Amino acid sequence: MSSFFGIGLAGCGTVGTGVIRALERNGTLIQQRSGADKPLEIRRILVRDAAKARHNSVPQELITTDWQALVHDPEVHIVVELIGGTSLAYDIVAAALKLGKPVVTGNKALLAERGAELFALSQEHNAPIHFEAAVAGGIPIIKTVQEALIGNRIKTMCGIINGTSNYILQRMAEAKLDFGTALEEAQKLGYAEADPTLDVNGWDAAHKAILLATLAYGFPISPSLVHVVGIEQVKPIDIDFAQQLGYVVKLLAVIREHDGGAIELRLQPSFVSKNHILASVNGVFNAVAVHGDGIGEALFYGRGAGEDPTASAVVADLVEAARVLAHQAPHRGFLPWGSEGRLVPVEDTSTAYYVRFDVTDRLGVVAEIATVLAQHGIGISGTHSPVNPENPDADFVDMVFLLHRCPYGVLQAALREIADLNCVNSEPVVFRIEKI
């Protein structure tokens, strides 16, 4: 047995580099949490052009252009496929599975189009395929459906699962842009690729929806049977009317089980009530709303793509692959693993605050309170003192101060002093104003 779990990384673009950096940054933490007795280590990296300049975290000595050498390397126990496409990627994944090596992939097109063949190989050679990174990297929706919802019949899944088109639709709505202009803007900001075809024609999202539906209902789905409409034809006038009518236009994947067991699966720009939580999913974020017969309604929200979120999904899959490979103790870890941690005392925790005083309304009240706050170094961002229209001359009033961020202990000291002022009639009421 090796002293490590060896990884063969096929593809070293954005996500591949993210995986290398995540293992470099959090490798020790990951091993502590998982309780594994050996680390995850990258042993080979497949690239197309060995001479290309790369992030300096990428170990040059591991680079190869020979995919067979990577897959067959005895020190490669787990193969990560991040090169995309459905031909070379297929060959690599199939070869790894045939050798009994678990595969981690983020390739939704490969699994949606050739998944049936690959899952059959996976079963035959008892080598799992992990693909959390294939759908909404920043949301563990695959794990959620596969594991957490295993006891549920899935009634519906509705998702915004393409960040590029979501960003474009949002910009069309808020800045009254036409499709072409919004797409150009997204490309300039790096939210859309040079070739945005699969994002805007709906197929990137459709491939993800096919994977979700396959997970939920367990049968292979031919892409040619799925109804897919992209956002290229969406016109500003319709977005405008949608807004007037109380809707937001979202590129929506809809998966629904009908009575009798047949599955509805489609993808198109749709109107969503602006009061629904999915309408608030903006920019490059993704979200999937699930209705199960056990859990009821749930929603999972996070970043759909990008180096770090997708790498996070790959790393989670690597840990799971290693855990399975090791056939080791059943512990998933995350037990308390040390005794060095400590809590911040509440006095040292800082937020902004809302404080309401019950004061006697006489000359100088605001000045007296503000002076004490200033002496303690606490800034005031606003005050609020509602007038009682029934009795504008009332002797007692509620006086609200909004305070800048400061440690809770400092606030408490100031409030103790203020409580001693004879204009203050009772304990002040304090709420934290959270910046999340």
Least distance CB 398 / its own copies (angstroms): 7
Interaction of residue 32 with its own copies, rule CB under 8 A: yes
Interaction of residue 93 with its own copies, rule CB under 8 A: no
Angle among Cα 26, 28, 33 to the nearest 5 degrees reads 95
Of the candidate spans 84-92, 164-172, 253-261, 413-421, the one that interacts with its own copies by CB under 8 A turns out to be: 253-261
Burial degree of 305 (CB within 10 A; 0-12, 13-18, 19+): buried
Least distance CB 119 / its own copies (angstroms): 5
Angle between helices 203-217 and 108-124 (to 10 degrees): 30
Residues 152-211 that bind its own copies (CB under 8 A): 152-153, 156, 158
Interaction of residue 383 with its own copies, rule CB under 8 A: no
Query: Residue 283: left if φ>0, alpha if ψ -120 to 50, beta else—which one?
Result: left
Please give the distance of CA 87 from its chain centroid, rounded to a whole number: 29
Q: What are phi and psi of 358, to 5 degrees?
A: -95, 105
Least distance CB 74 / its own copies (angstroms): 19
Structure tokens at 374: 């200033």
Residues 254-273 that bind its own copies (CB under 8 A): 254, 256, 258, 261-266, 268-272
Please, which residue, 13 or 64, has the CB nearer to its own copies?
13
Interaction of residue 387 with its own copies, rule CB under 8 A: no
Query: Any bridge partners for residue 129, and if so which?
Result: 103
> Which DSSP helix (H) or strand (E) runs through 351?
strand 350-360
Query: Residue 126: left if φ>0, alpha if ψ -120 to 50, beta else—which one?
Result: left
Structure tokens at 121: 């190989």
Interaction of residue 217 with its own copies, rule CB under 8 A: yes
Please, which residue, 67 or 102, has the CB nearer to its own copies?
102
- Terminal C-alpha separation, the chain: 46
In order, the DSSP letters of 61-77 are GGEES-HHHHHH-TT--
Q: Which residues contact 245 (CB under 8 A, 6 or more apart)?
A: 271
Interaction of residue 49 with its own copies, rule CB under 8 A: no
Three-state DSSP at 281 gives coil
Please, which residue, 95 or 157, has the CB nearer to its own copies?
157
Please, which residue, 67 or 250, has the CB nearer to its own copies?
250
Interaction of residue 149 with its own copies, rule CB under 8 A: yes
Q: What is the CA radius of gyration of the chain?
A: 28
Instruction: Point out the catalytic residue in the list 101, 108, 208, 250.
Output: 208
Interaction of residue 324 with its own copies, rule CB under 8 A: yes
Binding mask 326-355 for its own copies (x = CB under 8 A): -x-xxxxxxxxxxxxxxxx-x--x-x--x-
Q: 223 with 112: CB under 8 angstroms?
A: yes
Please, which residue, 89 or 242, has the CB nearer to its own copies?
242
Q: Contact with its own copies (CB under 8 A): which of 147, 195, 390, 420?
A: 147
Q: 369 with 421: CB under 8 angstroms?
A: yes
Q: 265 with 282: CB under 8 angstroms?
A: no
Look up 155 and say whether it is catalytic. Answer: no
Residues 101-140 that bind its own copies (CB under 8 A): 102, 115-116, 119, 122-123, 126-128, 132, 137-140
Please, which residue, 67 or 207, has the CB nearer to its own copies?
207
Interaction of residue 145 with its own copies, rule CB under 8 A: yes
Q: Contact with its own copies (CB under 8 A): which of 13, 33, 72, 187?
A: 33
Interaction of residue 230 with its own copies, rule CB under 8 A: no
Residues 10-29 that bind its own copies (CB under 8 A): 22-23, 25-26, 29
Interaction of residue 428 with its own copies, rule CB under 8 A: no
Q: Contact with its own copies (CB under 8 A): which of 295, 397, 419, 421?
A: 295
- Give the active site residues: 208
